[in-house]
Structure 1
Amino acid sequence: MDAGLIAFIAGMIGLLVGVLSMNAVARSEREQERSLVSAPALRDGAAQVLAVIGRAYLVIDEVGGVVQASPGAYAMGLVRGHTVASDELADMIRTVRHRGIFAERTFEIDRGEGEALVLDVRVASLGDEYILVLADDRTEISRVQRMRNDFVANVSHELKTPVGAVSLLAEAIEQASDDPEAIEYFVGRLYKETRRLSALVRDIIELSRLQSTDVIARGGPVSVPSLVTDAVDRSHIVAEEKDIQISTRIEEVPEVYGDAELLGIAVQNLVENAVRYSPEHTKVDIWVHRVADQLLVEVADQGVGIPEDEQKRIFERFYRVDPARSRQTGGTGLGLSIVKHVMTQHGGSVTVRSMPQEGSTFTLALPLNEPPAAV
């Protein structure tokens, strides 16, 4: 077939698809407009109330048809044309009509691809003829509540282990009062557990503060090279004990705007992790440089690496690639989550490149923005 003819046919098919898509969109918009404009007169000023209520709503007639609906109701997928699209909502409407009672329920609307809207729905009679449906989107509130519940459960679990260990060790010390060697051993274990407990409480407090305050509101110019130098100094003793060489390559970069303390914690966490999880006699490389309008801090180690399917989860709270190894090295499971929150608060990001048995490279990217203008 001639190439020109093929191109012409393809173009006509594309045009036809475009026209059909535009017609479908226009038809949906007209349906919404009709449901808003052609609604019957509602009694006692109900129409005026619905117009300013600021919530998704539907008005259902005696035969179950939608005679009026807000754009929000369409967006939530509660109505299609003049028909209630949710079976659960239709069941609530029938119950209210038959029993004449008020109904309230929370349910989910499937949005495809594993996503769902969580809706609080209230259904009540609107005079003798109509049923009124009010809906509130609670998806984000529900998500935050689940995160809060998970966090409390995780904190309780994580605190239980060191607190229980401290209690048992204290009891063991009491029982070994006549054995100096045993006391020395148990005191060493007790010291290790209290350090772990202290670190966990510190990280929990830090993460809570990050989630509840606007750190940029009290920010200022920050020298990232100075933060890196401080982090290396603090990790020097542990690095020497494991014969790990920390190499820094710091280029000339401008200051960033932000909270120096929190940015220092983010850098410190990455450097500490690189040293903590690297084998003995290896090397940690730190590179500070600028790329376009971003300042980058790259921390590369020669550790065991992170499997690809784990890399998306390592920034979650209390997530550990190897829980046993993390506890052995004193990790709280919150360090990388804190790093992510710090970077988010500063308009930046943290990413990881890693291959099993080939080490990992974590990169902090901070925007080189001007500080906010004084009001």
Structure 2
Amino acid sequence: MITAVVAGVVGLALGVAGLAAYRHARAGRVLSLPDDEPELPAGAADVLSVIGRAFVLVDDVDGVVRANPSAYAYGLVRGHSLVHQELSQLVRRVRADGVIEEGEFDLARGPVGQGSIVVHVRAAPLGGEHILLLADDRTEFTRTAAMRNDFVANVSHELKTPVGAVSLLAEAIDDAAEDPTAVHRFAGRLEKESKRLAALVQGIIELSRLQGTDVVVKGKPVDVRQLLDEAVDRTSIIAGERNVRVGVGGAEEAWVYGDGDLLMTAFRNLIDNAIRYSPADTTVGVGLRRRDGLVTVSVTDQGPGIAPDEQERVFERFYRVDAARARATGGTGLGLSIVKHVVANHGGEVTLWSQPGQGSTFTVRLPEIEEREDDREVVASRAGGVAAGESEQR
């Protein structure tokens, strides 16, 4: 009996001693683990935390040991690795040469899809074998610069034709001074080209103005039905010249928040476009609906329609489905681009349905707001002021 008790006490003591030895050994192993965090120069961590740019710190085997959320958001880092081969090659060059390098890269945004991001990257040695990458998103700047260059090139090309025509026609009139018939013919063509030039300049001005307008700051409640009625009135002359009737139907009033002048320009451009591409003795229909918190405006013509492969491009600046016909009708190629920008700035969308030989329907959807009585008075007085101003100009 005594022997059994003694054996139990000895076994318990050995168990306790074994557990203590295990815990001591485990603690020793934890304390002896290498520190994965790199030794940064004094103040470097504080600078990186407020630098406002994506950063990645890479070790001597190209493993990512530190990166901020922006680097992951840009798609530069996945897990503990650099995603793009271009950045890995940049790191290796800097490690080999010890010289700071920088460059601009167009990189895939993620593992799927066609999205890309343009980043300006600066790579520098930091603390022994570590390389620091600083990345700045230049995507929007690059795209804006490209759009600006394209726009300038397109404007130069578009202006060249009417300006050259005006110059040549002026010379022709001078040479035909003794021939009244020729003078009359050349003068008519000169007037047509000058109108086209004026329309092009006006379109460029409108496009520039809408890009600089803050709808949130300058907007106010406007009645879309009133704008549509006025837009139809402003296009009545060209409708009469082409013998095209324009009818407006649907809701008697519908209110949205925005810039009434810009919305007027967009609706007028849609109606004008429909009139220009409609055959004589046909009708352009303008509809207005209110549904599910949206105000929907549709403009339908009975024109030649647009082929499916052309429909994605009709909202591009200066793009024309039929360039020859556009010149004949006085189109500038800016009208639908202006519509798209105006509608987007008002939080809406514009879509197109069309079939060759069956006409086209452009549909604008804008967020609806509830009408207030004081809003009605503001819009009515503003519209009256615009109408009076136009009467004075005429």
TM-score bracket, shorter-length normalisation: 0.7 to 0.9
**Residue matched to 1:265:** 265
Please identify, of 194-203 and 220-229, the stretch whose mean Cα deviation from structure 2 is larger: 220-229
Letter of the aligned partner of 1:121 in structure 2?
Answer: V
Equivalent-residue separation in structure 1 for 2:266 and 2:249 (angstroms) = 18
**Residue matched to 2:79:** 81
Percent of aligned positions that are identical: 56
**TM alignment of 1:30-41, pairs within 5 A:** 38-41=36-39
1:278 maps to 2:278: yes
Letter of the aligned partner of 2:318 in structure 1?
Answer: F
Shift of 1:103: 0.4
Change in 2 beyond 3 A, CA 1:222/1:125: same
Shift of 1:328: 1.2
Cα-to-partner distance string for 1:88-146 (whole Å, 9 max, x where unaligned): 11222222222221101111222342221111000112143322111112122222222
Letter of the aligned partner of 2:167 in structure 1?
Answer: S
Shift of 1:205: 0.9
Shift of 1:247: 2.3
| SS of residue in 2 equivalent to 1:67 | strand
**Residue matched to 1:132:** 132
Shift of 1:338: 0.9
Change in 2 beyond 3 A, CA 1:80/1:293: closer
Change in 2 beyond 3 A, CA 1:300/1:57: same
Letter of the aligned partner of 1:99 in structure 2?
Answer: D
Q: 1:54 aligns with which of 48, 52, 55?
A: 52
Q: TM-score, normalised by structure 1?
A: 0.84
**Residue matched to 1:172:** 172
Shift of 1:76: 2.8
Shift of 1:165: 1.0
| SS of residue in 1 equivalent to 2:132 | strand
**Residue matched to 1:243:** 243
Change in 2 beyond 3 A, CA 1:241/1:55: closer
Letter of the aligned partner of 2:141 in structure 1?
Answer: I
Shift of 1:371: 8.8
**Residue matched to 1:17:** none
Shift of 1:250: 4.1
Flag structure 2 segments of 5+ consecutive residues without an equivalent: 1-34, 373-394
Change in 2 beyond 3 A, CA 1:115/1:286: same
1:97 maps to 2:95: yes
Alpha-carbon contact 1:257-1:370 (below 8 Å) kept: no
| SS of residue in 2 equivalent to 1:44 | coil
Q: TM-score, normalised by structure 2?
A: 0.80
Letter of the aligned partner of 2:333 in structure 1?
Answer: G
Shift of 1:233: 2.4
| SS of residue in 2 equivalent to 1:284 | strand
Give the structure with higher Rg (CA): 2
What's the Cα RMSD here? 2.1
Equivalent-residue separation in structure 2 for 1:213 and 1:71 (angstroms) = 33
Flag structure 1 segments of 5+ consecutive residues without an equivalent: 1-36
Alpha-carbon contact 1:257-1:371 (below 8 Å) kept: no
| SS of residue in 1 equivalent to 2:56 | strand
Shift of 1:225: 2.3
Change in 2 beyond 3 A, CA 1:223/1:78: closer
